[in-house]
Chains A and B, each alone.
Chain A
Amino acid sequence: MIARLTIRTRLILLTCAGLFVLIATNAYLTKKLAENSAGMVTAADLLKSIEEANSAQIAFGELRYWMTDLAVSQLTMAERNAAAARARVEQHLDQLQPWNPQRIAAVRNELAQYADLAGKAVEEYTEDRRVIGNSLLAQARQHSLVADQLIASIVQELTGAAIAARQRVVAEAERATRLSQIVVAAAVVLGSLLTFLILRSIVLPLRRLTAAMDGLNAGNVTVAIPEAGRDEIGAMAQTLAMFRDTLKELRETLAQLEALRAVGRAVGSTLDLERVLSLVAARAVEFAHAQAGMIYEFDEAAREFRFHTSHGAESALIEQLRASPIRFGEGAMSAAAVAGSPAQIRDLVGYRKLALPKLADALARLGYRSLIAAPLLYEQDILGGLVVARHEAGEFSREVVSLIESFATQSALAVRNAKLFDEQRRREHDLRVAHEQLKQAQANLVQAEKMASLGQLTAGIAHEIKNPLNFVNNFAELSRELLQELCDTIPAPGADQDELIATLTANLAKIVEHGRRADGIVTSMLLHSRGGSGERRTTDLNALVDEALNLAFHGARARDKSFNISLERDFDSKLRPIELVPQDITRVLLNLFGNGFYAANKRRQEGTDPGFRPSLRVTTRDLGDHVEIRARDNGVGISPEVQSKLFTPFFTTKPTGEGTGLGLSISYDIVTQQHGGTITVDSRPGEFTEFTVRLPRKLQAAEPAAATGASA
């Protein structure tokens, strides 16, 4: 009950109680003192009366003395002294008169008779009549004795009365003292008890408050604050609780800021998206006092949210989340993304009937009751969502919502940064590839230049060789003819002669054969090195293909003596001549055949299949409006990535110096740009590569898009 009062009231009560006891005791003692004072006054009056009576008795004794002295000495001094003593006696009797007038009158009477007789005796002594004087003095003495007895009895009576009065006063004082002592003792006991209770009601809460303050000073924000009563300590406790809450909020805010700073630092310092998002999920769970945090990425193409990472979520839940992308437009996350701000589900039990029942059920089964979803937005782009789920139903606090929103913003930045980084990295890769390609192209240009020079040189050499070769061929033919004529002129050649003639003829035939072959090679070389004249001519495509195939084969053989390949020719015999630029198409075919030889030979060199035999099959078909040339090798094949760059200028998979990277690019231009045809490739790595060239019989506008697509 005391604790309900304020300390001021308590102290006032204590003071009032003390003052009441003090005043009551004082009043009582004052009353008793007044009574005692009256008694004391009475006693004092009695004492004064006793003193007066004693004084009267003494004065009377003096009177008697001086009268006797006067009678003897006759000195006027004695007479005066006697008169003075008489006056004092009368004066003292006057003082005693009120006490008992009758008694005093009796004394006065005796006194007067004594004085009269003594005076007469003195007169007689003065006149030297001693006998009469003695007689009178004897009579006076009788009255003096009576008067003395009367005064003595008065003194005795007064003394008795004074003693009685004093005893009454003493008894009253003792009673008052005892009562006062009892009251004081009771007041001390009650005051001590009251003081103890009041002090206890102050000290104990203060002690608890001090302990709480010490705890707070030590940084313990979970310290228990004493219950706030109605008194000042209660107000202090209330203030302390507010201070603790503020401190707690500050700490939480600080921790949140620290968490945000950590997340921000992570976002700014690392491009490890997994790490950042895991950190965000963990901090979001921590500060939302939740149990699980999930981060989704938004697939723009599929228009759905896909689970990315989580913190605290059970493996079963993670599995469920991975298996259940959230389509845009469904669930709280979509609502949050549309609204651009966090959305909450206060109770999953009721919510699961409304949307995403499977997911809501899964969450509810694991004990989750509420969740908050915040969108990961960058400008107007939806990048994903942050979801925090907890076991407790109800609304998330405003601070938590704000914090989750901040985490979502940080996550969005992280995702955005990661994407930018990926894009940047891809661009860097592309640049690096382009750079490499450029370097390759430079090398190839140099090589091409060399080849061009070599081509020119070859053309020159071929031209120079062609004349002597013509001589060789012509003279060989002529020699064979002359030998035939010689044989004809010889009527009967011997066996040795016949054998010799036959050998010579055979040799000459071989010279002619190889001479023609050499001429063909040189002619091909001339044709190839001469460059495109742009002159379209009606050409036998099969012959052109065969010639190019031979030229390519021999070229390969010329570079590598060990090179060998099985050539299959599947020419359409009904293929009608077609109008084209023979040199350019030959260049195209040389490139295609050369690449086929390279791939097949490379596969052979790798030796993964001991039974492998390189082969190249060349097919021609007359398709009416088009003619088709297919070159299919059984080489290493081309990966899809390489296929997409196959016709890019200066792109080559060959070692530097072996390829310029321009062959297919030029071929592409020749087929598509010059002839309006298409060139496609179909390949399976490790199995085959097949190039298909389609040439229209009539020149058409170029169709680049058709040329880049793969046939597979």
Chain B
Amino acid sequence: MNPVGAPSSQVRRAILALFVAGLLVCGAATAAPAEDDMAIAQNLAEMLRDARTVISDQQDLINDPQLGDKHLTGEAVLEQTLARYVKNTATDPKKIDPALRQGRLLRAMMAAIVEVVDDNQSTINEKGTAFKGFIPAVFARLIAESFVHLAKGEAEIKVTAPLELVRNRKARPDPWETEIIEKRLLDPAWPAGQPYSATVETKGRQAFRVMVPEYYAESCLACHGSPKGRMDITGYPKEGGKLNDLGAVISITLYH
């Protein structure tokens, strides 16, 4: 389940605009060198969301029990992701210099997308099973895990959430994330959609960390809405969330 679900292009643009504005604000509040990191983090987050959107859009296909090979390969998903990415950012990540940190990390992200999709081809193409659990949230977590592996310690990305909303313990916020979520992002005064970023020591290293809030859209509430406790399609109890509640946080750590 993707906390953001499958927002429309207008929504996504609005979110991006807010994100950018937030970055600007945040950047103004932090050190200047963080500007590149913020862009990198933004792009990584955007690509993650785009890939997640693709998978969200393909749920009917994925969950078609009649169809075996869906031809939804890693490359196919990446292609659709990049199409969205280019559309949303007006930049082609393949054209960014791989020597650059941004180029490396975006390529790591793209590789993670392909890897996750390809690793789950048997699941996606399984015939006879309707709901396969290969949902945007799982997909995003798997991309994040794969990205951490592929980034080789240069950066990490994680889709986390307020602790009570986290379904997979791998997505649990660490103490810093928990604090930011509770004290910042959940503060009613926090501007909606504005990321939080800071350079903090993480795992013994200095790192630029960005927390991008995501809010429940209408499509998210099918699994995370009311009534609270009722099982959703995955067999997990609904959280009782409401529209525009803070549903997830994309946490990006860029190590220096």
Contacts and interface: CB of A to CB of B under 8 A. Distances in A.
Interface string B179-214: 000000000000000000000000000000000000
Contacts of A70: 169
B237 A76 contact: no
A97 interface: no
A74 B172 CA distance: 10
B127 interface: no
A122 interface: yes
A128 B142 CA distance: 12
B168 interface: yes
B170 A126 contact: yes
Contacts of B145: 128
A77 B170 CA distance: 12
Contacts, number: 22
B176 interface: no
B230 interface: no
A699 to B, nearest CB: 182
Contact of B167 (A75, A122, A126): A75
B67 interface: no
Interface in B127-173: 145, 166-170, 172
B237 A74 contact: no
B237 A77 contact: yes
Interface string A69-113: 010011111010000000000000000000000000000000000
Contact of B166 (A73, A76, A128): A76
Contacts of B172: 76
Interface residues of A, number: 10
Contacts of B236: 75, 77
Nearest to A73: B168
A272 B237 CA distance: 137
Interface residues of B, number: 9
Contacts of A74: 168-170
| Among B166, B170, B172, residue most surrounded by chain A Cβ atoms (within 10 Å) | B170
Interface string A119-139: 000100010100000000000
B182 to A, nearest CB: 16
A128 B144 CA distance: 14
Nearest to B234: A75
A74 B142 CA distance: 13
A77 B232 CA distance: 13
Contacts of B168: 73-76
| Among B166, B169, B170, residue most surrounded by chain A Cβ atoms (within 10 Å) | B169
A188 B166 CA distance: 76
Nearest to B169: A74
Nearest to B141: A74
Contacts of A79: 169
A126 B166 CA distance: 14
Contacts of A128: 145
A122 B170 CA distance: 10
Contacts of B170: 74, 126
A128 B237 CA distance: 25
Contacts of A126: 169-170
Interface string B107-120: 00000000000000
B145 to A, nearest CB: 8
Nearest to B237: A77
Nearest to A123: B169
A126 B167 CA distance: 13
A128 B149 CA distance: 11
A73 B168 CA distance: 7
Nearest to B164: A76
B77 to A, nearest CB: 23
Interface string B223-251: 00000000000001100000000000000
Contacts of A73: 168
B99 to A, nearest CB: 30
Nearest to B163: A76
B149 to A, nearest CB: 9
Contacts of A75: 167-169, 236
Nearest to B161: A76
A79 B236 CA distance: 13
A75 B169 CA distance: 6
A128 B172 CA distance: 15
B199 to A, nearest CB: 25
Contacts of B237: 77
A114 B12 CA distance: 47
B202 to A, nearest CB: 16
| Among A74, A76, A79, A128, residue most surrounded by chain B Cβ atoms (within 10 Å) | A76
Nearest to A79: B169
Given A75-B236, A76-B167, 7 more contacts: A73-B168, A74-B168, A74-B169, A77-B167, A77-B236, A126-B170, A128-B145
Interface of B: 145, 166-170, 172, 236-237
Interface of A: 70, 73-77, 79, 122, 126, 128
13 contacts: A70-B169, A73-B168, A75-B167, A75-B168, A75-B169, A75-B236, A76-B166, A76-B168, A76-B172, A77-B236, A122-B169, A126-B169, A128-B145
CB-CB nearest 9 A-B residue pairs: A74-B168, A74-B169, A76-B166, A76-B169, A74-B170, A126-B170, A126-B169, A75-B167, A79-B169
